[in-house]
Chain A
Amino acid sequence: MLLKPKMLSFQSSKNVLSLTEDLLVRIYELLAAESDRKSFRLVCREFRRIDSLTRRHLRVIRIEFLPILLGKYPRLQSLDLSACPRIDDGVVSLLLTRVGPGSNSPSLGHWAWGLKSLVLSRATGLRFSGLEMLTRACPCLESVDVSYCCGFGDREAAALSSAVGLRELNMDKCLQLTDVGLAKIAVGCSKLEKLSLKWCMEITDLGIDLLCKKCVDLKYLDVSYLKVTNESLHSIASLLKLEVLGLMACPLIDDVGLQFIERGCPSLKVIDVSRCEGVSSSGLIYVVRGHRNLLELNAGYCLSELSTALLHQMKNLNHLEVIRIDGARISETSFQVISANCKSLVEIGLSKCVGVTNMGIMRLVSACINLRVLNLTCCHSITDTAISAIAYSCRSLVCLKVESCNMITEKGLCQLGSFCLLLEEIDLTDCCGVNDKGLEYLSRCSELSCLKLGLCTNISNKGLSYIGSNCLKIHELDLYRCTGIGDDGLEALSNGCKKLRKLNLSYCNAVSDRGLAYIGRLEELSDLEMRALHKITGVGLEAVAVGCKKLADLDMKHCEKVGDSGFWALAYYSKNLRQINLSYCGISDMALCMVMGNLSRLQEAKLVHLSNSTVEGVELALRACCARIKKVKLFAPLRFMLSSEILEILHARGCIIRWD
């Protein structure tokens, strides 16, 4: 339905502004897209006031604007600072300081009063004093995310423990956290419902035991990768409200430990024991036997097969919605049992499973008609027959992964295009049977948003043009090593797929500057991988830099013909760039310095083997960006040629250097 806004001259009483505030708020809340809200804000003062009042969530990238924004939005409930690279204790202190008495602007501390959720992921500059200030200033704090703050440890945990109302806490990869810190949190935040401690390698059974004794309301606990033993499972089994348990890749957990879970955790709905080397079918029998209402079972890459005894128990899992048993050997009996008893399945993961046959799949999908996600990566025996069966039975299919299933041809894709019209994601990497005809059929799935066609050497510009005409919602497209794709295909793509955000053109060596000019028309593009495009020059790169204003991630390794003009353009236009790979490019010293110095959001750079630069040039470039760069990859011999001073500065600022 085409909406044509009519232009009428209004009597002032019928103006939309005469609507009351709550009605305007209702309208505003319907505008979910950020671009619409930005327009709304600019219309007039009243609309901006509505925007300020209603805004509950703020995610900030530029730290300079933070004080202004926090002053404008008094009713914030959630604040996301994970994209601010320079947030540290000093900044926090500034934000929380009250403006002097008698001044006109409101005191800055206001914004913290109602704040419920705080995301400080990767805020490596922050320390315990900053955290203490925040927890004291935000009395309503319920959810905190400090994941990937690798330097965080027990002192930071102590700061967090003063947030008494805390319900959710994410401390993934807080590497210095030990049992002492965990104990402080357990005692201080007794209302905790959700806790994630992935990769906090210093945690032991002692810490987990105290946690389970103090935080009895825990519903979600993730201890993946930790070196905890079966004793922890004994403690965890006492958590009466636990619904989700993450034990991925826990090396010391085994079948004996899972025995505790059989009689414990009565509310358990989701369990993840993927990659646990000590777990086998016997261990899972305990889990399944004790929890017939299990909703999600993740046992990828740990089971060698589904034993008969386990299958027998699985007959009771009538409510199972998700099962992932990647890497296991699957028998015909397995398919029979699952299809007879687990008809509520919505997601099935059989990636790299042995024994997946057409017959088995057909049996499975005819029973599990509500299937939305199906992963058959590397199930090489699958042919068009299975795909047709899937398409015909599972009309609600949203995601299909069939990487390396190279017997699939356009016949299977025709069936998908006819029946699975809700399909959003499909992975056809390395499916050499996919051709232009197949893409024509597939393009009927107009909801497609993620399409992976890496290594599909039989597709050409013609196939891509079908996608460009019909799949207008595409966000992500992978054309890795699709050597048949050239400039004409990119033209078709840029005409239709305006929402494209992520594109991989690596090794599509027919692409030239003309093709990149079309790429420059994709205004939403943020992630571009274009390795080894030997025909492109500075002209092409400039077109991309100028046009793709949201570009954040660029990988142009081995694009050896690109000259400085392209890099100058990058330095000037690509203000949103956060990660760049310039390895093996012919960038000069000056251009390198401009790129590293000018792009203030750049956090990661790969600069291996720059044929046109010198050691001095690299040193200068590193100095220009040392304040904010977080990760850099350099040519190994430079380790002894760069001054120790620059290496020390980088190290002191927390920058990680890798040598290649």
Chain B
Amino acid sequence: MLLSKNSALESKDNEIFEVEESIAIQSELIKTMTTMVNSKAYVNERNQMVPEARCRKQANYHVEQNNKIVDEELSDWESKFFEVDMDDLHELFMAANYLEIESLLNGVTKRVGDFIKACKNVEVIRQTFGINNDFAAQQEEEIRKLNSWNHI
């Protein structure tokens, strides 16, 4: 298991990198696994699902967080961290969900939410996220009508 203060995590792309134990435990998944199993090898095997880029990103995320930066700096850094394009954001989302890191998940969710808020209308939302409009014309009309007559 964790022989020293650092734990080694192997990613899907077979890259191993060292992360401080306290940071690795931020991920609920890793935490559960390391407490359940005693073998370092086993831990690595299970981590194969996670591609390298994601892992590195999370490691960095937590390193910075744990460095106890002053509030303002932290929020500045966080905004830069999340200022990535849709693909990367998606990766982060999936990774944060898989590894069960609550703080990272909150950050990414907020970022997506901000994107939606910034979109002026529905069409822009669809374009941003690459979603097709699968409503029938009548259904869409019904929803629009409901939207305008109700303060829900």
B108-131 toward A: CB 8 Å interface, digit per residue (1/0)?
011011111111011011111111
Interface residue? B77 (CB, 8 A): no
**Which residue of chain A has its CB nearest to the CB of B148?**
A38
Known: A16-B129, A48-B143. A62 touches B150 (CB 8 A): yes
Segment of B7-15, B51-59, B62-70, B133-141 in the binding face: B133-141
Q: How far is the CB of A31 from chain B (nearest CB, A)?
A: 6
How far is it, in angstroms, between the C-alpha of A68 and the C-alpha of B150 when the chains are bound?
Answer: 12
Quick check: B133 and A8 within 8 Å, CB to CB? no
B116 touches A27 (CB 8 A): yes
Shortest Cβ gap from B80 to chain A (Å): 10
Residue in contact with B113 in the complex, picked from A31, A58, A61, A68, CB distance below 8 Å: A31
The minimal Cβ–Cβ distance linking B14 to chain A, given in whole angstroms, is: 22
- Complex formed: what's the CA distance from A45 to B135 in Å? 6
Query: Which A residues from 39 to 65 make CB contacts under 8 A with B?
Result: 39-45, 47-48, 55, 57-62, 65
CB distance from A128 to the nearest CB of B (A): 28
Report the nearest B residue to A15, measured CB to CB. B130
Which residues of the other chain, A, contact B105 by a CB distance below 8 angstroms?
A: 26
Check A39/B122 contact, CB under 8 A, given A5-B128, A8-B86, A8-B130. yes
B144 partner residues in chain A, CB cutoff 8 A: 42
A8 touches B87 (CB 8 A): yes
Closest residue of chain A to B84, judged by CB? A6
Within the assembled complex, what's the spacing in Å between the Cα atoms of A30 and B94?
A: 18
- In the complex, A47→B117 CA distance in Å? 15
A33 to B109, CA, bound (A): 16
Q: Is the Cβ of B134 less than 8 Å from the Cβ of A45?
A: yes
A20 at the interface (CB under 8 A from B): yes
Interface centre among B90, B91, B113, B152 (most CB of A within 10 A): B152
Q: How far is the CB of B54 from the nearest CB of chain A, in Å? A: 13
Is A1's beta carbon under 8 Å from chain B? yes
Q: Are B90 and A39 closer than 8 Å at their CB atoms?
A: no
> B151, A83: Cβ atoms under 8 Å?
yes
The reply to whether A1 and B79 contact each other, CB–CB distance below 8 Å, is yes
Q: Is the CB of A60 within 8 A of B125?
A: no
On chain A, the residues within 8 Å of B91 by CB distance are 14
Contact A61 B87 (CB under 8 A): no
* Chain A nearest Cβ from B53, distance in angstroms: 13
Grouping DSSP codes into helix (H, G, I), strand (E, B) and loop, the B interface class, with mixed when no group exceeds half, is helix
The residues of A that contact B118 with a CB separation of less than 8 Å are: 3, 5
Cβ distance B88 to chain A, nearest Cβ, rounded Å: 10
Say yes or no: is A9 at the interface (Cβ < 8 Å to chain B).
yes
Would A15 and B109 count as touching, CB distance under 8 A?
A: no
Q: How far is the CB of A32 from chain B (nearest CB, A)?
A: 9
Q: Is B97 an interface residue (CB 8 A)?
A: yes
Q: A36 and B117: CB pair below 8 A?
A: yes
Residues from chain A with a CB closer than 8 A to the CB of B90 are 14, 16, 18-19
Chain A residues with CB under 8 A of B133? 43-44
B130 x A27 contact (CB < 8 A): no
Tell me which of B97, B140, B152 contacts A60 (CB under 8 A). Answer: B152
- Check if A34 is an interface residue, CB within 8 A of chain B: yes
Number of residue pairs A-B, CB distance < 8 angstroms: 120
| A20 and chain B: residue at smallest CB distance | B97
Among candidates A6, A39, A48, A65, residue contacting B150 with C-beta atoms closer than 8 Å:
A65
Q: Does B146 contact A (CB under 8 A)?
A: yes
Q: Please name the residue on chain B nearest to A6 by beta carbon.
A: B85
A10 contacts B by Cβ under 8 Å: yes
What is the minimal beta-carbon distance from B114 to any residue of chain A, in angstroms?
6
Residue pair B116, A8 in contact (C-beta under 8 Å): no
Within 8 A of B (CB), among A122-149: none
Q: What B residues does A309 contact at CB under 8 A?
A: none
Q: For residue A36, which residue of chain B has the nearest CB?
A: B117
Measured CA separation A243–B68 after assembly (Å): 40
Q: Is B132 an interface residue (CB 8 A)?
A: yes
Interface contact B150-A14, CB-CB below 8 Å: no
Contact of A14 among B87, B97, B115, B125 (CB under 8 A): B87
Given A6-B86, A61-B151, decide whether A17 and B131 contact each other with a Cβ distance below 8 A. Answer: yes
Contact yes or no, A39 B113, CB < 8 A: no
- Give B127's nearest chain A residue, CB to CB: A7
CB nearest neighbor in B for A48: B143
- Smallest CB–CB gap between A302 and chain B, Å? 39
Q: In the complex, are the beta carbons of B125 and A39 less than 8 A apart?
A: yes
Write the nearest CB–CB distance from B52 to chain A, whole angstroms. Answer: 17
Contacts of A10 in B (CB 8 A): 86-87, 129-130
- Is A656 at the interface (CB under 8 A from chain B)? no
Once the chains are docked, how many angstroms separate the CA of A27 from the CA of B150? 23
Contact A39 B109 (CB under 8 A): no
State A248–B146 Cα separation when bound (angstroms). Answer: 42
Interface membership of A23, Cβ < 8 A: yes
A15 touches B131 (CB 8 A): yes
Give Cα A178–Cα B131 distance, bound, in whole angstroms.
59
Most buried by A among B87, B117, B144: B117
Interface pair A26/B109, CB less than 8 Å apart: yes
Q: Are B131 and A59 in contact (CB under 8 A)?
A: no
Nearest B residue (CB) for A575? B149
Q: Which residue of A lies closest to B121 (CB)?
A: A39
Say yes or no: is A69 at the interface (Cβ < 8 Å to chain B).
yes
Q: Does B113 lie within 8 Å of A30, measured CB to CB?
A: yes
Q: Which of A1, A42, A61 contacts B122 (CB 8 A)?
A: A42
Contact of A39 among B79, B116, B134 (CB under 8 A): B116
Q: Once the chains are docked, how many angstroms separate the CA of A62 from the CA of B148?
A: 10
Bound CA span A215–B150, Å: 38
Contact of B61 with A by CB under 8 A: no
- B135 CB to nearest chain A CB (Å): 6
Contacting residues, chain B, for A16 (C-beta < 8 A): 86, 90, 112, 129-131
What residues on B are CB-neighbors of A23 within 8 Å?
93, 97, 109
Q: Which B residues touch A19, using CB under 8 A? A: 90, 93-94, 97
Q: Say whether B147 faces chain A, with CB atoms less than 8 Å apart.
A: yes
Partner of B128, one of A7, A37, A45: A7
A43:B152 contact, CB within 8 angstroms: no
Q: Which of B94, B122, B152 contacts A58 (CB 8 A)?
A: B152
* Complex contacts, B117 vs chain A, CB 8 Å: 31, 33, 36
Among residues of B, the one whose C-beta sits closest to the C-beta of A83 is B151
CA distance in complex: A31, B122 (Å)? 14
B residues in contact with A6, CB < 8 Å: 85-86, 128
CA distance A331 to B140 in the complex (A): 67
Contact B131 A44 (CB under 8 A): yes
Q: Min CB distance, A254 to chain B, in Å?
A: 45
**In the assembled complex, how far is the CB of residue A131 from the closest CB belonging to chain B, in whole angstroms?**
24
Q: What would 4 more interface pairs be, CB under 8 Å, given A14-B87, A40-B125, A58-B152?
A: A8-B130, A16-B131, A36-B116, A39-B125
Identify the 6 closest CB pairs spanning chains A and B, nearest first: A30-B113, A10-B130, A5-B128, A3-B118, A16-B129, A42-B122
